[in-house]
Structure 1
Amino acid sequence: MTRLKDEIANNTHRFFINKLPELLALAGCHEDVLLSGRDFSEPKVNSSKKNSAETIVFRVDSARIMLDSVKDALYSMDETYRKIIQLCYLSNLRNFEIAGRLGYSERTVNNYKPIALKTFAVRFVAMQLSNGIDEKNIIDLTKTKEVA
């Protein structure tokens, strides 16, 4: 896989590779749910963290809200960028396969991928806020390390 030189694109890439599967497993679903019309807006549960069953329900509910934010961010993007992310990270296709499906050259897909990832990162933060995720729990993919 091509290494991305941009830190925000790298953060977003790692999110799709590492964190998204974890969220999907916690919510009890697969990648295809992000491609479908399924909505996770089930009742919110507040956890006192005293009861482990209640804590588990809270964690599942939080994962579903986060997945709604992923889905909302994806569907607010330009169709080309959304399809590149969906085909790469949800359908696990390689760049040449994505290029074939979209009718682009592989070079174009390579050039569009970091832009798509950065676009997703910005929209994902906004969607988390609009879906009611507490600021301290937001996954901010746009944060970059400051050079000392």
Structure 2
Amino acid sequence: MADETGFSREDYASMSRAGEILHAKGWRKVFTVAEMADKWAWLVGEVERGYDDMVDEYTNDLYCRNWLAEAWPMLTHPVRAAWHAEIQPLDERFRAATVDDDGEAISRYHRIVLMEGWWWRRKPRKLLGSLASDLAEMPDET
């Protein structure tokens, strides 16, 4: 039986289970899909306005999108369908506010694993403050 959100007990259990499994895998706490979707929305807004914190903070903030990607296969279809409607537009906004550099800028500070998400291979178009100096183009060393 579904509640007013349309989610069943199985749907809620899948969300809880995903948070618990990811916490057991090393995430610092049992996060919820809502928490991480909100964090992704916040980060996308910051990138659109011009993220100006240090690169270490930026890479730490990007991990919210990793959490969503890792949780995704653990969620029931109704949960994925409901959250897709929120996350997909955020992904599109992030793509529009960033440029694909194949991870070159960020990889100078953070190891990017081959199978890691596309968001690691993009850098913000609008670079401000500390992030601007951290991700500035490196001169060719030829």
TM-score for the superposition, normalised by structure 2? 0.32
TM-score for the superposition, normalised by structure 1? 0.31
